[in-house]
Amino acid sequence: MQYEEIAPDFETAPVDELMQVLPMTNVLLLATSFYDSAIACLSQLDSAARRCDWTTVKEQAHDLKGISGTFGALRLQQLATELEHEIGMSSSQACTMLQEMRETFAVARREIESLLAANNKTVAAA
């Protein structure tokens, strides 16, 4: 499955919505949980791809797809969807895709942290 349009690394709307309905401390805890979960999924994906364990790859890609959307990491979500539905991918192709996923996660994480830091300062000043 290839998307005609590449999604942005990060979209602010999901995080903005979380900040509107939850206290900032809860949003920060959820963000930390997202980072930890995404890192764990990427690690497990890497290991499973190297072993050609495609069942685990699909399971972890599915999990990563869900948590990425919650925090607006749209490109990561898109790549996880592609990986989840890919058939006949070699281990080296999967590892290449995982590298792109790690890179887009890093970009999204920086953007999320920047957005949360800016809003946390605004909350603290109020």
Q: Residues 102-116: pLDDT tens digits?
A: 999 999 999 999 999
Q: Is the pLDDT of residue 1 over 70?
A: no
Angstrom distances, CA of residue 81 to CA of 3, 8, 16, 104, 119: 10, 15, 24, 14, 30
Q: pTM of this prediction?
A: 0.89
Q: Residues 5-51: pLDDT tens digits?
A: 899 999 999 999 999 999 999 999 999 999 999 999 999 999 999 89
* Domains assigned to the chain: 22-119 (1.20.120.160)
Closest of 72, 71, 96, 70 to residue 83, by C-alpha: 96
HSE at residue 92, side-chain half, CA atoms within 13 A, is 0
